[in-house]
């Protein structure tokens, strides 16, 4: 392999080769190599963090007025929109999602920069009621160097969700994308520089999380980590953060319940449940992976659901009609197959799926059919552990109390869905279910203006929302003396 063919990475304002191990990224639909690059090394981490700190102190970014920083963020949104199609195609190659999904992710990334530009220029600081001869106020300051660590399932959207508020707040950002999907973070960093973010303020360090991510998290100059990924990694990062007294936000895994009541609109519910679990091939933290159906409705509903699942179009991500692309890697597909085998071993029955389909033109891709398993108790391992693939476990429930007890019986509490025409029950259940996000008669709908995050093992903190920018700022109280006389104590 010749040096010129290697993809440069972004380290402290320079686009150059990493000094870590050489590796290749692959298109999950065919297994073909997409890019070859050198990962970042520990020395690159040091250079990137030091460079980010230097840029934070000397570039003047933090001192720019909010509307000036916002203008740059608006330009980033415009540049993303101007390059939407090539970005969406690149993202398809990066992680194998269908083109319809990657287009939506690119649009969402642009929307995120636009939203945080607006949040930045409209952020208010407060004059608080004084209790003495002072002006008392609460203001916000940027933190310095913050880190964004992202997983492979939704690059560009995940990175935008962290980079936009962090930059809007005036910080420098060191991004650690998933080792196997580094391309979009690099594209985004180039766009940010082109839009006017000072060089050095952003670094992108692809590489092994256990080495590079760990070193970034532990670095004394890194003042905050925003992490999206698995719960085990999140817990590890939380321990480091505790030692450093560093704030951290953790968007982690899920095993989200979808609940279909007797009076649900069946057309909507069948579609919504299929979309909730099988879109993104189930590689989604909020996948509705546990289904509870009212016992009286169970058999007819499952017949329709299984027929719907069997008809989903699993195929070439480049095809606009494809609903489910390949899984991210062969290894991940093996892990999903092991979970399905475990479910069967635990006494479950396959209602549909459980196969590696042959996809014309993508014979070496990591495809798996939409799979539904039933006949298990909520205590079964495949009902409790996150599979992160196109596997739904379905169970009947007897009454509302039983439903809520089962839905909440999980270490995870990220999302939930309820399908019913009874608005009072919908509200009661939405309030009783323990989850960071609840959808009523819909699923997996998002708005950048609505905070997102999980409870319990699904995470800590919230991203998005107008106040999402405050996660990347320190609050400061200022008392400004207005006394005509010296303080009484001094007399
Ligand atoms: P991981 O936790 O393995 O990886 C996520 C990121 O963390 C990657 O960049 C990874 O690098 C890095 N990393 C790994 N180990 C460390 C470490 N010790 N210190 C710092 N960084 C580290 O998750 P997956 O990549 O497997 O992603 C899937 C998981 O993400 C699922 O559990 C899913 O539910 C969750 N997720 C949560 C979302 C949410 O918003 N709640 C959204 C999307 C996914 P490397 O590439 O080397 O692994």
Cite the beta strand spans of 161-228 per DSSP E: 172-176, 202-204, 222-228
Q: Does residue 463's CB lie within 6 angstroms of at least one atom of ligand 1?
A: no
What single DSSP character describes residue 64?
A: S
**Residue pLDDT, tens place only, 410-426:** 999 999 999 999 999 99
Q: H or E stretch including 392?
A: strand 391-397
Query: Which amino acids are annotated catalytic?
Result: 251
Q: Is 178 in the pocket of ligand 1 (CB under 6 A)?
A: yes
CA 176 to ligand 1: nearest atom: 9
Quick one: which H or E segment has residue 215? helix 214-218
Local structure of 260: helix, strand or coil? strand
So what's the pLDDT on residue 488?
82
Q: How many other CB atoms are found less than 10 A from the CB of residue 86?
A: 11
The pLDDT assigned to 384 comes to 98
- Secondary structure of residue 322 in the 3-state scheme: coil
Q: Which two tokens stand for residue 99?
A: 């083109």
What per-residue confidence (pLDDT) applies to 179?
Answer: 98
Please give the distance, rounded to the nearest whole angstrom, from the Cα atom of residue 484 to the centre of ligand 1.
Answer: 57
Ligand 1, residue 216: give the atom nearest the CA.
20
Whether pTM > 0.95 for this model: the answer is yes
Whole-number Å distance, alpha carbon 438 to ligand 1 midpoint, is 23
pLDDT digits (tens, 9 = 90+) for 198-210: 999 999 999 999 9
Any ligand 1 atom below 6 A from CB of 249: no
Strand partners, 438: 416
HSE-up of 424 (CA within 13 Å, CB side)?
A: 0
Distance from C-alpha of 212 to C-alpha of 20, rounded to nearest angstrom: 10
Q: Find out whether the beta carbon of 461 lies less than 6 Å from any atom of ligand 1.
A: no
Judge contact between 130 and 82, C-beta under 8 A.
no
For 20, 155, 175, 189, 430, the CA distances from 186, given in Å and listed in that order, are 16, 11, 9, 5, 39
Q: Does ligand 1 come within 6 angstroms of the Cβ of 230?
A: yes
Q: How big is the chain by its Cα radius of gyration, in Å?
A: 24
228 lines ligand 1 (CB under 6 A): yes
Taking the centre of ligand 1 as the mean of its atom positions, its distance from the CA of residue 250, in whole angstroms, is 10
User: Pocket of ligand 1, candidates 156, 184, 209: which has the most ligand atoms within 8 Å of its Cβ, to mutate?
Assistant: 209
Q: Tell me the mean pLDDT per 10 residues along the chain, length 491.
A: 75 97 98 98 98 98 98 98 98 97 98 98 96 96 98 97 98 98 98 98 98 98 98 98 98 98 98 98 98 98 98 97 98 98 98 97 97 98 98 98 98 98 98 98 96 97 96 98 86 61
* Distance between Cα 228 and ligand 1 center (Å): 6
Closest atom of ligand 1 to 454 CA is 41
Query: What pLDDT score was predicted for residue 489?
Result: 78
Angle formed at CA 236 by CA 234 and CA 239, multiple of 5 degrees? 110
Question: What is the torsional sign of CA 218, 219, 220, 222?
Answer: negative
**Rounded distance between C-alpha atoms, residue 117 and residue 168, angstroms:** 6
Task: Indicate if ligand 1 lies below 6 Å from the C-beta of 386.
Answer: yes
CA distances to 145, 373, 461 from 464, in Å: 20, 34, 10
Condensed to tens digits (0 to 9), the pLDDT of residues 224-238 reads 999 999 999 999 999
Q: At which residue do the structure tokens 């990334």 appear?
A: 109
Nearest to 27 by CA among 314, 318, 313, 322: 318
Q: Identify the pLDDT of residue 82.
A: 98
Distance (Å, whole) CA 266 – CA 275: 14
């Amino acid at each position: 392999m010749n040096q010129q063919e290697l993809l440069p990475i972004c380290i402290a304002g320079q686009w150059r080769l990493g000094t870590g191990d050489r590796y290749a990224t692959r298109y999950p639909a065919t297994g073909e190599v997409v890019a070859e690059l050198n990962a970042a090394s520990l020395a690159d981490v040091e250079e990137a963090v030091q460079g980010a700190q230097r840029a934070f102190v000397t570039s003047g970014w933090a001192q720019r007025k909010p509307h000036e920083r916002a203008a740059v963020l608006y330009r980033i949104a415009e540049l993303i929109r101007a390059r939407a199609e090539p970005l969406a195609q690149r993202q398809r190659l990066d992680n194998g999602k269908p083109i319809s999904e990657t287009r939506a992710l690119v649009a969402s990334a642009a929307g995120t920069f636009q939203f945080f530009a607006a949040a930045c220029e409209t952020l208010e600081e407060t004059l608080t009621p004084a209790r003495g001869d002072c002006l008392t106020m609460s203001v916000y300051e940027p933190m310095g160097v913050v880190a964004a660590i992202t997983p492979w399932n939704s690059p560009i959207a995940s990175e935008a969700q962290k980079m936009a508020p962090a930059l809007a707040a005036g910080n420098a950002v060191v991004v650690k994308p998933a080792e196997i999907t580094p391309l979009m973070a690099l594209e985004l960093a180039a766009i940010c520089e082109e839009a006017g973010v000072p060089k050095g303020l952003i670094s992108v360090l692809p590489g092994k999380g256990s080495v590079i991510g760990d070193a970034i998290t532990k670095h004394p100059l890194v003042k905050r980590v925003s992490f999206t990924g698995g719960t085990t990694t999140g817990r590890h990062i939380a321990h480091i953060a505790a030692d450093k007294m560093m704030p951290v936000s953790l968007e982690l895994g899920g095993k989200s319940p979808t609940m279909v009541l007797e009076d649900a609109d069946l057309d909507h519910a069948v579609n919504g449940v299929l979309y909730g679990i099988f879109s993104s091939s189930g590689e989604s933290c909020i996948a509705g992976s546990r289904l509870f159906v009212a016992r009286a409705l169970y058999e007819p509903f499952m017949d329709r659901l299984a027929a719907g699942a069997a008809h989903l179009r699993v195929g070439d991500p480049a095809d606009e009609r494809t609903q489910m692309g390949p899984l991210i890697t062969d290894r991940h597909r093996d892990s999903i197959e092991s979970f399905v085998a475990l479910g069967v071993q635990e006494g479950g029955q396959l209602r549909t799926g459980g196969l590696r389909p042959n996809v014309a033109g993508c014979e070496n891709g990591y495809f798996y059919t939409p799979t539904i398993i039933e006949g298990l108790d909520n205590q079964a391992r495949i009902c409790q552990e996150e599979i992160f693939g196109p596997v739904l476990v379905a169970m009947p429930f007897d009454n509302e109390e039983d439903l809520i007890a089962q839905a909440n019986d999980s270490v995870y509490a990220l999302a939930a869905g309820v399908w019913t025409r009874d608005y009072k029950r919908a509200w009661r259940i939405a309030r009783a279910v323990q989850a960071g996000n609840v959808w009523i008669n819909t699923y997996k709908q998002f708005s950048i203006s609505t905070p997102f995050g999980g409870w319990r093992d699904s995470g800590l903190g919230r991203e998005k929302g107008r106040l999402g920018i405050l996660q990347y700022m320190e609050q400061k109280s200022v008392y400004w003396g207005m006394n005509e006389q010296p303080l009484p104590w001094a007399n």
